[in-house]
Structure 1
Amino acid sequence: MANPVTPPQQEFPEPQREHRPRVLKGGTIITGIQNSEVSCTVRNQHASGAELKIPLEARVPDQFLLYVPLDGVAYRCAVRWRRSNRLGVRFTGTEPKPKLHYG
């Protein structure tokens, strides 16, 4: 019985992470639940996402609106990971400044 021939394995390069410039911006997570808002700090940010620092006791849903006054825009976000008081989010779109927000 002949041994089956195995094709050579292809080596795929490890995907490179997008450079995430460190920033220190204030932000507000708007959950949409009774217009609930959670203050946060944007720790690093790039075109497709960010890392947020939130209060330990904060309850943040998997999808929310992040308003960053310094940018003058609100980002629609989807949570990619959670660690203690940090969230990694992916931006899924943008919206103008929320009308009811004070900033």
Structure 2
Amino acid sequence: MTDPNQPQKERRFHARQTVLKEGTIVTESSTIKCSIRNQHAHGAELRVDPSAIVPERFILLVPADDARYRAALRWRRNDRLGVQIY
């Protein structure tokens, strides 16, 4: 049983940097606006419209970084997406 007074153990392999950037998910047939909430060298957490259909693999455009990443969907919870970028 966990102690509610103790901080949760960090299970992530890479430290996340909190950010607030706009991005676009680009697929073969559509574009989906998103916001980037945290980011590290190998991944990011995105927020999208909960009804958006996001494929397993896509291109993530981040104008603030002048960057284009190949991305893979790793998890989804409502409007939050965890993606691996490479």
Same fold per superposition (TM over 0.5) = yes
Partner of 2:60: 66
Q: Which protein has the larger Cα radius of gyration, Structure 1 or Structure 2?
A: 1
State the identity %. Answer: 51
Match of 1:42 among 21, 36, 45: 36
Partner of 1:3: none
Partner of 2:13: 17
Using a 3 Å threshold, how does the CA distance of structure 1 residues 15 and 41 change in structure 2: closer, same or farther?
closer
Query: Is 2:81 the partner of 1:87?
Result: yes
**Tell me, which stretches of 5 or more residues in structure 1 are unaligned?**
1-13, 93-103
Using a 3 Å threshold, how does the CA distance of structure 1 residues 37 and 81 change in structure 2: closer, same or farther?
same
Instruction: Give the Cα–Cα distance (whole angstroms) in 2 for the partners of residues 64 and 26 of structure 1.
Output: 16
**Tell me, which stretches of 5 or more residues in structure 2 are unaligned?**
1-9
Using a 3 Å threshold, how does the CA distance of structure 1 residues 87 and 15 change in structure 2: closer, same or farther?
closer
- What TM-score comes out, normalization by structure 2 length? 0.84
Please tell me the residue identity of whatever aligns with 1:74: R
SS at match of 2:64: coil
Q: Which has the higher strand share?
A: 2
- What TM-score comes out, normalization by structure 1 length? 0.70
Using a 3 Å threshold, how does the CA distance of structure 1 residues 70 and 58 change in structure 2: closer, same or farther?
same
Higher relative contact order (CA 8 A, sep 6+): 2
